[in-house]
């Protein structure tokens, strides 16, 4: 992994974090901010540091922004493996949440149970990528012919998926959801969605805004069991305010009598939360060709609060469902043998963004801290990494005295390999085409999901 320049930042959003620019395929992209590129192992001081940022998700752009804002002479190149930038802003967040636009690791955690590879079982990452137009997931073609779906997980992504599955089509038509996804959802038979988690109401990972939106979703009725919340009003009295408000909203919803709200009484669709259930096995149909349900182990909690652990009780139950979506977290993948990687934690070992044992190499985003947090978390995390770079520049830890070509050198390598990078002006042509197609359909944009079509559009 050799990239010309003084130092390199490996960004943990859109693809798990790091993509070596010299290894880009025909659709790879490079955008320049102030100047040039970078090299993995570097060292430091000089009037005009050249920086290479690998990955164009929020972590990449926020890191570049902080460097350019606080170092007048910094020159930054951003590299991306796809022909389009912005990572999770484009591909990660639900289309009906354009103000948020929330994941970026390249792999998903597996359940590790029998039957998880049966047709009808999908990772949340792939499903989100499908309806958001991520090229690698454009052919997912999920089977939505069943009435009941089970989402394993109690995070915001799980709620996003439930909301997309149950939202009225009129709402989705106004978003940038892909046309093929909208057509599939129009034919969907799913009218009931359960969200199951290993732990209890006090350990859910979603936020109150997303829960409230789900509770108020037109044409749907929330189904929460009041028994799941017994005694919790006292338990959250001294809890942090966000956790207290979230729990109180769940309790209020659970105690609401069906029919109290006319719109919900007439709801044709339902969703609900199931607690203290851990998946043991995805059950096949009689012919073994697809999923028909999930065997769940009932659990009890040891400990309290965020540190509570789910322990199987020995009891089990079967939940009938024809669609299973695993939303138990994402996972970054190793980049290159030259870059250290903690396989167990799924991160690059680092101290404040400085990669251990690799002077001049930095990381940010989920590949730095793991797949947690939302956009604001990523922003602050990226600023911290950029600050580490600035401190190392000021302290003489990085040798930038030798003039380097940056992208000039990388460009030569790419040309020698027959690779033609996509520039930011090329992306603007793709952007304009998507917006124009969307306008014709009454949407913010109609995403192009085939990289080859993108390249043809810009004359590559």
pLDDT digits (tens, 9 = 90+) for 352-408: 999 998 888 999 988 888 877 677 888 899 999 999 999 999 888 888 777 777 788
Alpha-carbon separation of residue 124 from 38, 184, 251 (angstroms): 34, 17, 27
Alpha-carbon separation of residue 66 from 103, 145, 300, 354, 379 (angstroms): 21, 48, 46, 16, 10
Pick the closest to residue 346 from 358, 360, 329 (CA basis): 329
Q: Which residue has the tokens 């043998």?
A: 337
Token couple for 160: 């996003």
Across 305-457, where does the E strand assignment appear? 309-320, 323-326, 330-331, 350-351, 354-355, 361-365
List beta partners, residue 33: 76
Q: What is the pLDDT of residue 235?
A: 86
Residues 6+ apart with CB under 8 A from 307: none
Pick the closest to residue 156 from 365, 316, 352, 329 (CA basis): 329
Q: What is the pLDDT of residue 106?
A: 46
Alpha-carbon separation of residue 264 from 216, 218, 248, 260 (angstroms): 9, 8, 20, 8
Cβ(457)–Cβ(429) below 8 Å: yes
Question: 15: pLDDT confidence band, cut at 50, 70 and 90?
Answer: very low
Q: What is the pLDDT of residue 55?
A: 87
**From CA 141, how far away is CA 127, in angstroms rounded?**
9
Q: What is the pLDDT of residue 93?
A: 66
CA trace torsion 360, 361, 363, 367 (10° rounding)? -160
Token couple for 286: 């009689």
Residue 5 vs residue 277, higher pLDDT: 277
Is the pLDDT at 42 greater than 90? The verdict is: no
Question: 185: pLDDT confidence band, cut at 50, 70 and 90?
Answer: very high
Is the pLDDT at 315 greater than 60? The verdict is: yes
Residue 216 vs residue 260, higher pLDDT: 216
> pLDDT tens, 203-241?
999 999 999 999 999 999 999 999 999 989 888 888 899
**From CA 100, how far away is CA 453, in angstroms rounded?**
27
Domains and CATH numbers, the chain: 7-88+332-422 (3.40.50.720), 110-328 (3.50.50.60)
């Amino acid at each position: 992994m050799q990239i010309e320049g003084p130092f390199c930042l490996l960004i943990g959003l859109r693809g798990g974090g790091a993509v070596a620019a010299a290894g880009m395929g025909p659709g790879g992209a490079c955008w320049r901010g102030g100047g040039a590129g970078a090299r993995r192992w570097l060292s430091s001081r000089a009037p005009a540091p050249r920086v290479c940022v690998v990955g164009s998700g929020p972590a990449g752009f926020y890191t570049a922004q902080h460097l350019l804002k606080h170092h007048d002479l910094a020159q930054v190149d951003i590299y991306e493996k796809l022909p389009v930038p912005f990572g999770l802003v484009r591909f990660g967040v639900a289309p009906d949440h354009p103000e948020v636009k929330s994941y970026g690791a390249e792999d998903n955690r597996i359940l590790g149970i029998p039957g998880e590879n049966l047709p009808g079982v999908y990772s949340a990452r792939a499903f989100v990528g499908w309806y958001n137009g991520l090229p690698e997931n454009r052919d997912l073609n999920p089977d939505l012919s069943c009435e009941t779906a089970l989402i394993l997980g109690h995070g915001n992504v799980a709620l996003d998926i439930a909301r997309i599955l149950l939202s009225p089509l009129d709402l989705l038509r106004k978003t940038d959801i892909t046309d093929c996804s909208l057509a599939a959802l129009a034919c969907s038979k799913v009218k009931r969605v359960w969200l199951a988690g290993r732990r209890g109401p006090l350990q859910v990972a979603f936020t109150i805004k997303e829960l409230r939106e789900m509770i108020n979703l037109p044409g749907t009725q929330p189904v929460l069991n009041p028994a799941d919340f017994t005694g919790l009003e006292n338990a959250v009295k001294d809890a942090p305010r966000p956790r207290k408000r979230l729990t109180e909203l769940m309790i209020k919803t659970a105690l609401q009598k069906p029919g109290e709200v006319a719109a919900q009484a007439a709801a044709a669709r339902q969703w609900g939360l199931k607690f203290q259930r851990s998946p043991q096995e995805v059950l096949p149909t009689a012919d073994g060709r697809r999923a028909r349900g999930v065997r769940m182990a009932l659990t009890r909690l040891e400990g309290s609060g965020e540190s509570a652990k789910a322990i199987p009780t020995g009891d089990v139950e079967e939940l009938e469902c024809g669609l299973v979506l695993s939303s138990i977290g994402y996972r970054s993948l190793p980049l290159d043998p030259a870059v250290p990687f903690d396989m167990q934690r799924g991160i690059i070992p680092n101290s404040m963004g400085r990669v251990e044992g690799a002077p001049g190499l930095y990381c940010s985003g989920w590949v730095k801290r793991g797949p947690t947090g939302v956009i604001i978390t990523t922003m602050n995390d990226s600023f911290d990494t950029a600050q580490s770079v600035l401190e190392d520049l000021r302290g003489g830890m990085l040798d930038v005295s030798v003039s380097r070509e940056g992208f000039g050198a990388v460009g030569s390598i790419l040309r020698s390999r027959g690779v033609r990078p996509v520039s930011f002006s090329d992306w603007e042509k793709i952007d304009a085409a998507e917006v124009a197609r969307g306008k014709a359909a009454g949407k913010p944009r109609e995403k192009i999901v085939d990289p080859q079509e993108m390249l043809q559009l810009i004359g590559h």
